[in-house]
Amino acid sequence: MSCPPTFHHGAAQGCAGDKFTPLRNIKSERSVDMNPVVVVHGGGASNISKDRKERVRQGIIRAATVGYNILKEGGSAVDAVEGAVTVLEDDPEFNAGCGSVLNVNGEVEMDASIMNGKDLSSGAVSAVRCIANPIKLARLVMEKTPHCFLTDQGAAKFAADMGIPEVPEKQLITERNIKHLEKEKNEKSAQKTDQQKNLGTVGAVALDSEGNVAYATSTGGIVNKMAGRVGDTPCIGSGGYADNDIGAISTTGHGESILKVNLARLTLFHREQGKTLEEAADSSLGYMKSKLKGLGGVILINTAGDWAVKWTSASMPWAAAKDGKLHSGIDLDETSIADLP
């Protein structure tokens, strides 16, 4: 099996990147006053058209910059991943919030989750409608309820109770996604979903100055999905995971495949076994591809501030901000490095 694309500190890595990290070192990587790091992704994709590529690039860079600035101003990792994902939810180029794909009925149903690695507190929502930022609602579930996960009508009532305004559904729907649904309906039924087409999600991972990690992931799901379908994104351990003793990860790809292998926690399990970030991502993505033919991608960080970006889909927009530098890319073997403003 060929290597999935890998980037670590913005430089391409091979499948057997760094030396093996002994398990005993994992918990000792964290120290006080860490240099903050944020990494974001805009979802695995089969292809991104030339006319969209620059808009996607600018959107992902904007999200990483917002997240990094939150950290530099003393915000928490949770604040940073929520802020970064909110930027992507508000950007119609990405499949989350405004710009979400449509279900079989032409409606928007969105999923999101967030997790604090400091104490494993988690919040998730699924099948939510008519709100601009599902990730903000997921955080409220985490911080304002005794639960981890609310869905559909219960999530809608909770959103209203928390004062989150409803937005008209048409405000979340783009002309591109209307055409996307029409094309999908003409080509095939929802039961024969092409695993290489439906990979869109957005996500972020962060390490703050106190050594805490967090992740956030948000999506509109897969185009032409059955009403009520829920994928991996809101499921802790599949759509993402964060634990200060290991690291944080956000995933993207074919949701059903990710659910079946618990991609996020599986990757961090490989970290616990002593694998490097790259090796851990290789192992889990390779397993999902060989076992299920499922494609996807991951962004992950450890508590030493190292980060990695990997995918098996054709492309995955990503950006990472650390030490005043912004690394970004979309396609394999394409990495840009720039100074942050």
As a whole number of angstroms, the distance between CA 148 and CA 196 comes to 30
As a whole number of angstroms, the distance between CA 190 and CA 224 comes to 6
Positions annotated as catalytic residues are 201
- DSSP string of 17-47? -SPPPPGGGGGGS--SSPPPEEEEE---BS-
Tokens of 286: 């390779």
Give 292: exposed, middle or buried? Use CB within 10 Å, 0-12, 13-18, 19+: middle
Report CA-CA distances (Å) from 241 to 39, 216, 238.
14, 9, 7
Neighbours of 171 (CB within 10 A): 12
